[in-house]
Amino acid sequence: MSAYKVTQEEVLAVSGVDPKKCMRCGKCSATCPAYDEMEYHPHEFVAMVEKGEIEKLAQSKSLYLCMTCMACIQRCPRQVEPAKLVEAVRAAVIRGKGATHLKPDALPDMLDPDLPQQAIVSAMRKYTR
């Protein structure tokens, strides 16, 4: 399944986002708490999906840095909802490649006694099939 290519149509359909509504203001990237760690930033997700450059996004670790805080969704003046694009690319990669970003085997090393279950289920939902 490694030949699987995530297409623009799939991302647009799955996200329900219309990137053409974006006016390039940069509010999403101004508000993003994970900005510094990301390779591609929220406003680039919007622009690149619109342009059809999905493959670069699909390869990027930025997919796994979005914390679904929904700040960009809340504050976007054009109601574009960039986080939904991040999610759609991530979902497409994980479904298509059959791969998981997070291996259940690796989990025990990540846990500490206080870590709430919520963190684990959230990460499993986000990162695995």
Binding letters toward other proteins, positions 9-38, x by CB under 8 A: ----xxxx----x-xxxxx-xxxxxxxxx-
Nearer to other proteins, 13 or 52 (CB): 13
Q: Should residue 98 be labelled a site residue for other proteins when binding is judged by CB under 8 A?
A: no
Q: Which residues fall within 8 angstroms of residue 16, CB to CB, at 6 or more apart?
A: 84
Q: For residue 26, which of 77, 61, 64, 69 has the smallest C-alpha distance?
A: 77
Q: Where are the alpha helices (DSSP H) in 2-70?
A: 8-15, 27-31, 42-51, 54-59
C-alpha to C-alpha distance for 71 and 52, rounded to whole angstroms = 24
Nearer to other proteins, 37 or 55 (CB): 37
- Binding residues for other proteins, total number by CB under 8 A: 56
Residues that bind other proteins (CB under 8 A): 13-16, 21, 23-27, 29-37, 41, 43-44, 64-65, 67-71, 73-79, 81, 83-84, 87-88, 91, 102, 110, 114-123, 125-126
